[in-house]
Amino acid sequence: MSEYIPSIGLEVHVQLKTRTKMFCACPVHEEGEPNTAVCPVCLGLPGAMPVMNREAIRKTVQVGLMIGSEISLRSTFDRKNYFYPDMPKNFQISQQAAPLCIGGAVEIDAGGKKKTIRVNHIHQEEDAAKITHLANSSEIDYNRASTPLMELVTEPDMSSPDEAIAFLTALKEMLLYAGISDCNLELGQMRCDVNSSVRPAGTEPLGVKCEIKNMNTFKGIHRALTYELQRQVETLRAGGTLVQETRRWDDEAGITLSMRSKEYAHDYRYFPEPDLPPVVLDAATVEAWRAELPELPAARRARFIGDYGLPEYDAGVLTADRAIAEYFEAVAQASGNYKAASNWVMGEVLRALGEQGSAVAEAKITPAALAKLIALVDAKTISSSAAKEVFQVLFDEGGDPAAVVEQKGLAQVSDTGAIDGFADEAIAANPKVADDYRSGKEAALKFLVGQVMKLSRGKANPQLAAEALKQRLGG
């Protein structure tokens, strides 16, 4: 594809984490019987008047603040007219002329290369109902209708499916960190329309844009983009012509299919929403909302590398989830052994959470307990293998590491007399291996240390065992 340059832009729709809907007091939820969380407003009944959700406005503005947007102190709502069963009013309340957030950017890391993706704007709107298509009919659940929806529109700055996924991943991390949305793709809380085009290398104007609607899995987006870009290139290579259109992704077949021709925004006949006043903010309110934001993933990664001396990989894993990052930091500060804290959280903690299918907030092993366990290993009170046994008890039941060590008799044997006895037994039982070591085979010593550990039921200090063996073998 080197003779063509791909350009990709995304329209990301995110359901905001609010208690009620965008323009009424109906609860926002994903469970319950269909068409029960509805009222005259979200059903679009005649005479029903919308009332704006302040919390939704706050969360959308905070997203703009996180990515460096210019916040509009005066923004307005518009009616976006279209006729479809998922929109009971036959129009959607959205923002077109004056959105809440203008500009901004998100830095991504795709394949080890950093790149800045510009954002055109972020606007506030309401979600549509949920349609489920069956073999001979379609079902509509209006519970989702009027759920607060934020739409973030990027510039066409991405040039590969990998970069698109890197952008969505970075955005999702920020939204989760700040509590903007739960971003559950399976529940439709984060969805994406994907715009792509190709142009001949060496030319500036963008190619003909094709849009793929309603993508809700990162894997699907990657596959759809890979197919669609190749389809466009092959069409041009064969002398064909591309048309601006909306397409859909058939995941089973692995292809995109044409849905309808796509013209321009005025097809929706936007006009100002007469039933809602403008959103008027002041600088003090915007700054107060900025002060509520947490440290963001990229900043935290940089700090973990700088303050704790962690490798970039470790910092990336630990900061991918805000709760895990905070758990690690508590362990690191309590133990003082930053790399050990990283290894334990990345290894045993994430493994155990994955096996149990639970969140770190539910773990019974507290950061303080894990820090004490690390201290026991550092002091050579217990061996690394014994520490893992203690960890599992603490993860399953909670408690104090020292008490578990005492209860299970896992304290490491550092008594030189006892270790000398185990060393003598190991040499006597394995004379050939002892001779191998004397003749220069270093691996033989590891075997003998293993025998000492076996004789001591894993309690002998491995370093002391190795020293005892070397003394006896003349090493």
What pLDDT shows up at residue 475?
59
Which H/E stretch holds residue 326? Answer: helix 322-335
> 3-state SS of 157-170?
CECCHHHHHHHHHH
Considering Cα of 268, then 269, then 273, then 274, what sign does the dihedral take?
A: negative
Pairing of strands 101-102, 70-71: antiparallel
Q: Among the three residues 390, 408, 426, which one is the final residue of a domain in this structure?
A: 408
B/e letters for 126-156, b = 16+ CB within 10 Å, e = fewer, are bbbbbeeeeeeeeebbbbbbbbbbbbbbbeb
Domain check: are 73 and 221 in the same one?
yes
Side-chain-side CA neighbours of 257 within 13 Å: the count stands at 7
* Residue 54, both tokens: 């302040």
Cβ contacts of residue 48 below 8 Å, gap of 6+?
39, 40, 41
Domain check: are 114 and 175 in the same one?
yes
What pLDDT shows up at residue 1?
58
H helical segments located in 346-461 = 350-356, 367-378, 384-397, 401-408, 416-429, 431-438, 443-455
Domain check: are 348 and 221 in the same one?
no
pLDDT tens-digit map of 146-156? 999 999 999 99
Domain check: are 283 and 340 in the same one?
no
Residues of the chain with pLDDT under 50: 265
Q: How far apart are CA 337 and CA 326, in angstroms?
A: 16
Domain check: are 121 and 147 in the same one?
yes
For the whole model, what pTM was predicted?
0.84
Domain check: are 85 and 190 in the same one?
yes
Q: Among the three residues 271, 288, 305, which one is the final residue of a domain in this structure?
A: 288
- Domain housing 356: 295-408
Domain check: are 80 and 120 in the same one?
yes
What pLDDT shows up at residue 431?
79
What pLDDT shows up at residue 263?
55
Domain check: are 167 and 32 in the same one?
yes
* Residue 245, both tokens: 């259109």
Q: Are 153 and 11 in contact (CB under 8 A)?
A: yes
* Residue 240, both tokens: 């064909």
Q: Are 63 and 180 in contact (CB under 8 A)?
A: yes
Domain check: are 229 and 277 in the same one?
yes
Can you spell out the DSSP letters for 163-215? HHHHHHHHHHHHHHHTTS----TTTTSEEEEEEEEEEETT--S----EEEEEE
DSSP annotation of 217 reads -
Domain check: are 206 and 320 in the same one?
no
Q: Residues in the chain, how many? A: 475
pLDDT tens-digit map of 418-428? 677 777 787 88
Overall number of domains in the chain: 3
What pLDDT shows up at residue 411?
67
Domain check: are 150 and 236 in the same one?
yes
Domain check: are 39 and 171 in the same one?
yes
**CATH code, domain with 456:** 1.10.10.410
Q: Among the three residues 383, 408, 433, which one is the final residue of a domain in this structure?
A: 408
